[in-house]
Amino acid sequence: MLSTPETVIWLIRHSASTFNLQGRCQGCCDLPELTDESRCAARLTGERLRNAGIEAIIFSPLRRAAQTAFEIAEALRPLTRNIRMKPDPRLREIELPEWEGLAFAEIHAKFPEQFLTWCRDPWHLQMLSSDGVPQFPVQNLYRRARHIWLDSVARYPGKTILLVSHGGTGRALITSALGLGAKYFHAFQQSNCGLTRLCFAGKTGKTRLELLNDTSHVNNSLPKIKEAKIGIRLLLIPVAGSSLDAFRRILNVVGRVRMHTVFAAGVGVQAVASLIFQSSCSCAVQQVSGDVLLGRVKEILEGECENELRNVALIASPARLRRVLQDCFDLTALVANAISLTEPGITVVHCPGGGVPTILQGMNMLGQRIDSTGVTS
């Protein structure tokens, strides 16, 4: 019996807009647009996706997203001439009419209680709509996100498509696809032009997250830190049997990062850890058993780190590292198992501390070659 092919959905946040560069809230405001530099970044994203087999691009009609979509399409067309372009208003950004156009510092000062709710309990954020009616913007956004998934998987079974959207909408889409609610709205980072890939199984409907917020094609090996540059940044490097040569590219990334602690957990990972960090890291690689890795990570996260950013590398099997993610984000085993950690790649978790939520900045990043069967080394 033949299995039903998966539906593959790529998701990208639009390229940097004028409002992004000015530090202003955008929401559904349609004034911001792309700069010449950000148009080039969108083209680079399209070039990265040339062999992904994308058959349709569905995009938010807001100008900055539509411009990104058409730049990507131009980069794809030499290989994909008949790609379908379709605007979908459900992909527009979250509606925040009281904040739109304001600098975030001004929002913080003018709407302190609203802003605190946005940061700590977004599900309960309330503000007036453009028609003056009280609304819950994040609740509305998650309802939209669920409808987008139901429609996309039903409309494009077994196909590969690209959704071009926004930061807030992208986070709601990713978390809702994994069965997570608004508690995780700020926990999954979406950078400009960051690539995410989700697979939906045919009959079972199970979701698998294969790539998150990969910005390597726009010269950001690691996504930019969203919050203050303090706390602990975990770099998770899975090892599952590839040759040492497969990990040499990681040297180009970690060689530019000051490492404070490196843990190699389990049998067969010491050689990989030594290859990656021996020449680029002043700290010693600590060999630990897989059973104690989680405890050591907890000890580090519970320690004080108020004035600096400390980088901690974890080299272990994908199963061990998924357990770390499960603990960091309080995930169920079902959700953790939907996160596919692959080698060679780097998954980055920023733990700012001070009550600020932990952020999954990116997953499986390393600028892998992309083809129609998936993300490959």
- Tokens representing 118 are 């946005």
Please state, in angstroms and as integers, the Cα–Cα distance from residue 156 to each residue in 19, 24, 83, 195, 211, following that order: 33, 35, 14, 20, 20
Strand partners, 17: 34
Q: Checking DSSP bridges between strand 285-288 and strand 259-265, what pairing results, if any?
A: parallel
**Which one from 6, 71, 93, 210 is the annotated catalytic residue?**
93
As given in the structure block, the two tokens for residue 200 are 């939906």
Beta-bridge partners for 11: 163, 196
User: Which long-range contacts link 125-133 to residues 24+ away (Cβ below 8 Å)?
Assistant: 127/96, 127/97, 127/98, 127/99, 128/97, 128/98, 129/95, 129/97, 130/95, 130/97
Are the beta carbons of 231 and 304 closer than 8 angstroms? no
Q: Which segments of the chain does DSSP mark as H helices, in order? A: 18-22, 36-48, 63-76, 104-110, 112-120, 137-155, 167-177, 250-254, 270-277, 290-302, 318-329, 333-337
Per the annotation, the verdict on 14 as an active-site residue is: yes
Q: What is the DSSP pairing of strand 346-351 with strand 359-365? A: antiparallel
Q: Which two tokens stand for residue 68?
A: 């990104």
313: Cα separation from own chain's centroid: 19
- For residues 194 and 11, what is the distance between their CA atoms, to the nearest angstrom? 8
- Are the CB atoms for 251 and 237 separated by under 8 Å? no
Distance CA 182, CA 117 (A): 12
Residue pair 161/12 in contact (Cβ under 8 Å)? The answer is no
- The SS3 call for residue 176 is helix
- Annotated active-site residue 93? The verdict is yes
Distance CA 107, CA 96 (A): 11
Q: Which of 6, 14, 260, 343 is catalytic?
A: 14
Is residue 59 within 8 A of residue 66, CB to CB? The reply is yes
Active site residues: 14, 93
